[in-house]
């Protein structure tokens, strides 16, 4: 029983729907056309068909074929020349929705044609553009009914739409590839750019080209100046004598009044445009706020002087350009920070040299004593210091050997273009030697500056031979008078009588030095009450004295030694330091210092040094030829 008209229409619509779905799902146009052609031929109740696609110019290529007769099998001579349907389509004579054409290709073919002689031709179009030709073949006497012609025209329209969409998709893919290539090249250029300004200008040029806009610009928000400045611009009409960067809005750093996207900038702006921007004659506008570390730093925008509605994918592309801009700005910021750090490192290196110039470049050579000192800052500069001061002889003492030139304090000098500490004067005939160790209660540059002040005042106070307690009192008054930094310094000061080993000392809040006594084999701290210098205007300092016997060792140190911390946050402490001194008292001062450093490093277990470390070791040696001298370990 033949189908009714309604059933036939349902079948035709179902086939057309399947045809549209096939074309929509297809990822390859040629495969889609092959499948669609088979559906169209079956829909028409025919057996043969083919599709031409029009290439650039007037040429056509066979894009799909279905069940060709042997006489025109592909490839073959029948397809080498043009045919009537191509000429008719090219000349605009296929004006009907469906045209019946006697096929010149079939007419001239030799062999089995299966009775085919003509075809129904549909010109595939997208608007006024000819995309190709759909042909379904029939015999010389075959007839296609008007409803079938309408059905074929509908199929042709679906095919034309699918081909146009596929070509747009291919063009979009090509454009995306070109955009990605341009963005990659731009990213590499920005990465290699040594200067920020050329990099920003290049980004503006590429941005205008990629978005096919008349102009592109980056407007930076100058927050301190309360204005917006033009940092980079392409396509703008700018005064030739204007200083760069050019002020754009002198009243507001952010262009809050500009819409994100508009085809009529002057009408949709929330306020009057700045004069320089208004003179550009921009009509269409798209902008994006550029943020660095979450804070807005400016606006990247593109403009055209004619009407244009920017699309979402163009807004995404502008967003990618904004990200590249942010990376460029961040890289420049990091570069400037690196330069600033490098400059600071150079300044700190110079500060370290200057600070080193305040420390003795060698320890004094005193008959009957071995003296060694060590200093290591936790940072490039620190607040610890030590000093040796030649003092005038006490009443009744001979200051110098007859004929000897009076000793003079060394001056800071340059050696090889670098600052060097003053040479230690010859103290081999000195009767009295002042010894200072001190620790400023801070680190880094402030401590180093305060250290220089404190060291100078202490030396100036002690140089005339005052008693230790009086030296600390007078130095304290001078430090309070001269210092405005709120820092203070712990100080231990001792006067050594080189002929007798008699030591007089006072302590200004410093760690108690440790004395190893050869007679008892014990280590005891040299306790003396006193407050740190730089706090109280009229402090009191206890003054004590002792006499070092041959073999006794005096260890002066700062809290960087005893407050070294291990992984369990335990302190090295005075007891461990006393144990090291007791175990190595028979060695030279230099070896004692090395033993202390080794013990502290092992105790810290890889922890970084948290405070400056300073030590001074004074050992009284037995006179030459004495039994004690012969018993000293090497």
Beta-bridge partners for 100: 120
**Structure-token match 């085809």, residue found:** 263
Rounded to 10 deg, the angle between the 29-43 and 5-25 helix axes is 170
Looking at residue 174, what is its pLDDT?
63
Buried b (16+ CB within 10 A) or exposed e, 444-475: bbebbbbbbbbbebbbebbeebbbbbebbbbb
DSSP at 79: G
pLDDT confidence of 508, banded at 50, 70, 90? very high
Domain membership of residue 614 (yes or no) is: yes
**Which of 172, 201, 222 is where one domain is finished?**
172
**Structure-token match 């000195």, residue found:** 430
Are residues 99 and 121 in contact, defined by beta-carbon separation less than 8 angstroms? yes
Are residues 284 and 303 in contact, defined by beta-carbon separation less than 8 angstroms? yes
Cα-based torsion angle of the residue sequence 325, 331, 332, 334 in order, rounded to the nearest 10 degrees: 150
Distance (Å, rounded) from C-alpha 47 to C-alpha 25?
Answer: 25
Distance (Å, rounded) from C-alpha 369 to C-alpha 381?
Answer: 30
Domain membership of residue 346 (yes or no) is: no
Q: Are residues 206 and 273 in the same domain?
A: yes
Are residues 292 and 330 in contact, defined by beta-carbon separation less than 8 angstroms? yes
In the predicted structure, residue 403 carries a pLDDT above the cut 80: no
Q: Are residues 126 and 202 in the same domain?
A: no
With pLDDT > 70 as the criterion, what percentage of the chain qualifies? Answer: 83
Q: Are residues 261 and 365 in the same domain?
A: no
Domain membership of residue 566 (yes or no) is: yes
pLDDT confidence of 186, banded at 50, 70, 90? low
Q: Is the Cα dihedral 157, 47, 81, 35 positive or negative?
A: positive
Are residues 363 and 373 in contact, defined by beta-carbon separation less than 8 angstroms? yes
Distance (Å, rounded) from C-alpha 206 to C-alpha 630?
Answer: 86
Distance (Å, rounded) from C-alpha 387 to C-alpha 422?
Answer: 11
Distance (Å, rounded) from C-alpha 467 to C-alpha 622?
Answer: 27
Looking at residue 419, what is its pLDDT?
42
Region 40-68 average pLDDT: 88
Q: Which domain holds residue 206?
A: 193-335
Looking at residue 562, what is its pLDDT?
92
Q: Are residues 154 and 264 in the same domain?
A: no
Distance (Å, rounded) from C-alpha 351 to C-alpha 196?
Answer: 32
**Which of 109, 138, 172 is where one domain is finished?**
172
The token duo for 437 is 């160790």
301-352: per-residue pLDDT in tens? Answer: 999 999 999 888 888 888 888 888 888 878 877 777 888 888 877 776 776 6
Domain membership of residue 179 (yes or no) is: no
Q: Which of these, 446, 436, 540, lies nearest to 490 by C-alpha position?
A: 436
Close Cβ partners of 125 (under 8 Å, ≥ 6 residues apart): 131, 160
Pairing of strands 284-292, 261-262: antiparallel
Distance (Å, rounded) from C-alpha 255 to C-alpha 228?
Answer: 8
The token duo for 416 is 């090889």
425-472: per-residue pLDDT in tens? Answer: 666 667 899 999 999 887 667 777 788 888 889 999 999 989 999 999
Distance (Å, rounded) from C-alpha 205 to C-alpha 374?
Answer: 61
Q: Is 425 exposed, middle or buried (0-12, 13-18, 19+ CB in 10 A)?
A: middle
CATH number at residue 97: 3.30.450.40
**Structure-token match 């007891």, residue found:** 575
Q: Are residues 519 and 442 in the same domain?
A: yes
**Structure-token match 């000192």, residue found:** 373
**C-beta atoms surrounding 209 within 10 Å:** 12
Kindly report which listed range (256-270, 371-385, 524-538, 572-586) carries the lowest average pLDDT score.
371-385
Are residues 287 and 310 in contact, defined by beta-carbon separation less than 8 angstroms? no
**C-beta atoms surrounding 420 within 10 Å:** 15
Domain membership of residue 348 (yes or no) is: no
Q: Prior bond to 576 cis, omega within 30?
A: no
In the predicted structure, residue 39 carries a pLDDT above the cut 60: yes
Close Cβ partners of 77 (under 8 Å, ≥ 6 residues apart): none
Q: Are residues 39 and 154 in the same domain?
A: yes
Compute the mean pLDDT over every residue in the chain, rounded to the nearest whole number. Answer: 83
Q: Are residues 295 and 363 in the same domain?
A: no
Domain membership of residue 340 (yes or no) is: no
Q: Are residues 72 and 168 in the same domain?
A: yes
Are residues 133 and 86 in contact, defined by beta-carbon separation less than 8 angstroms? yes
Q: Are residues 313 and 370 in the same domain?
A: no
**Structure-token match 């057996």, residue found:** 47
In the predicted structure, residue 148 carries a pLDDT above the cut 50: yes
Domain membership of residue 297 (yes or no) is: yes
Q: Which of these, 438, 487, 433, 427, lies nearest to 462 by C-alpha position?
A: 433
Q: Is the Cα dihedral 108, 113, 115, 118 positive or negative?
A: negative
Q: Are residues 462 and 608 in the same domain?
A: yes
Backbone angles phi, psi at 444, to 5 degrees: 75, -155
The tally of domains found in the chain comes to: 3
In the predicted structure, residue 363 carries a pLDDT above the cut 80: yes
Distance (Å, rounded) from C-alpha 354 to C-alpha 159?
Answer: 86
Looking at residue 631, what is its pLDDT?
42
Region 572-601 average pLDDT: 95
Q: Are residues 556 and 457 in the same domain?
A: yes
**Best-predicted range by mean pLDDT (127-136, 345-354, 521-530):** 521-530
Q: Are residues 9 and 102 in the same domain?
A: yes
The token duo for 368 is 């009957």
Distance (Å, rounded) from C-alpha 307 to C-alpha 265?
Answer: 10
What is the CA angle 73-77-81, rounded to 5? Answer: 115
pLDDT confidence of 27, banded at 50, 70, 90? low
**C-beta atoms surrounding 159 within 10 Å:** 26
The token duo for 506 is 């006072």
CATH number at residue 540: 3.60.40.10
Strand ranges for 498-593 from DSSP E: 502-508, 514-517, 522-525, 543-547, 553-557
Are residues 387 and 457 in contact, defined by beta-carbon separation less than 8 angstroms? no
Domain membership of residue 403 (yes or no) is: no
What 3-state class would DSSP assign to 191?
helix
């Amino acid at each position: 029983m033949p189908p009714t008209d309604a059933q036939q229409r349902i079948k035709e619509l179902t086939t057309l729907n399947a045809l549209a779905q096939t074309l929509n799902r297809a990822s390859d146009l040629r495969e889609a056309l092959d499948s669609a052609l088979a559906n169209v031929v079956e829909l028409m109740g025919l057996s043969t068909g083919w599709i031409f696609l029009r290439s650039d110019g007037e040429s056509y290529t066979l894009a799909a074929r279905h069940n060709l007769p042997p006489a025109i099998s592909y490839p073959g001579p029948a397809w080498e020349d043009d045919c009537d349907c191509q000429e008719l389509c090219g000349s605009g004579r296929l004006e009907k929705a469906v045209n019946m054409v006697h096929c010149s290709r079939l007419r001239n073919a030799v062999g089995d044609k299966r009775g085919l002689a003509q075809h129904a031709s549909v010109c595939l179009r997208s608007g006024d553009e000819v995309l190709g030709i759909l042909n379904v073949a029939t015999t010389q006497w075959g007839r296609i009914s008007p409803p079938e012609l309408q059905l074929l025209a509908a199929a042709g329209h679906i095919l034309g739409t699918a081909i146009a969409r596929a070509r747009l998709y291919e063009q979009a893919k090509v454009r995306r590839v070109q955009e990605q290539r341009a963005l990659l090249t731009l990213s590499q250029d920005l990465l290699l750019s040594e200067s920020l300004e050329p990099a920003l200008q290049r980004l503006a040029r590429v941005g205008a080209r990629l978005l096919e806009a008349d102009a592109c610009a980056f407007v930076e928000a100058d927050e301190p100046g309360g204005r917006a400045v033009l940092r980079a611009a392409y396509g703008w009409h700018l005064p030739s004598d204007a200083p760069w960067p050019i002020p754009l809005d002198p009243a507001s750093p952010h262009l809050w009044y500009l819409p994100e996207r508009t085809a009529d900038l002057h009408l949709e702006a929330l306020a009057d445009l700045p004069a320089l921007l208004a003179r550009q004659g921009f009509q269409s506008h798209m902008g994006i706020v550029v943020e660095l570390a979450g804070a807005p730093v400016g606006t990247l925008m593109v403009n055209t002087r004619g009407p244009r509605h920017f699309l979402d994918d163009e807004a995404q592309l502008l967003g990618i350009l904004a990200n590249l801009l942010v990376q460029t700005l961040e890289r420049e910021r990091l570069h400037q920070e690196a330069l600033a750090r490098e400059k600071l490192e150079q300044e700190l290196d110079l500060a370290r040299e200057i600070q080193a110039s305040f420390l003795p470049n060698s320890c004094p050579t005193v008959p009957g004593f071995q003296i060694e000192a060590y200093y290591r800052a936790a940072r490039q500069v620190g607040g610890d210091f030590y000093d040796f001061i030649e003092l005038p002889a006490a009443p009744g003492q001979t200051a110098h050997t007859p004929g000897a030139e009076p000793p003079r304090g060394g001056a800071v000098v340059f050696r090889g273009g670098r600052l060097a500490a003053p040479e230690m004067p010859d103290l081999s005939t000195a009767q009295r030697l002042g010894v200072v160790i001190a620790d400023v209660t801070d680190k880094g540059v402030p401590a180093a500056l305060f250290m220089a002040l404190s060291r100078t005042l202490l030396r100036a106070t002690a140089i005339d031979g005052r008693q230790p307690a009086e030296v600390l009192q007078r130095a304290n008054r001078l430090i309070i008078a001269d210092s405005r930094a709120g820092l203070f310094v712990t100080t231990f000061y001792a006067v050594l009588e080189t002929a007798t080993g008699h030591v007089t000392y006072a302590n200004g809040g410093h760690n108690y030095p440790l004395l190893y006594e050869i007679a008892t084999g014990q280590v005891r701290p040299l306790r003396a009450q006193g407050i740190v210098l730089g706090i109280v205007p009229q402090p009191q300092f206890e003054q004590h004295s002792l006499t070092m016997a041959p073999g006794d060792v005096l260890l002066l140190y700062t809290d960087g030694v005893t407050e070294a911390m291990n992984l369990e946050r335990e302190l090295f402490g005075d007891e461990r330091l006393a144990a090291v001194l007791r175990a190595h008292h028979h060695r030279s001062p230099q070896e004692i210092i090395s033993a202390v450093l080794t013990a502290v490093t092992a105790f810290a277990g890889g922890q970084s040094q948290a405070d400056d470390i300073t030590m001074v070791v004074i050992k009284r040696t037995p006179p030459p030829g004495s039994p004690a001298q012969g018993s000293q370990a090497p």
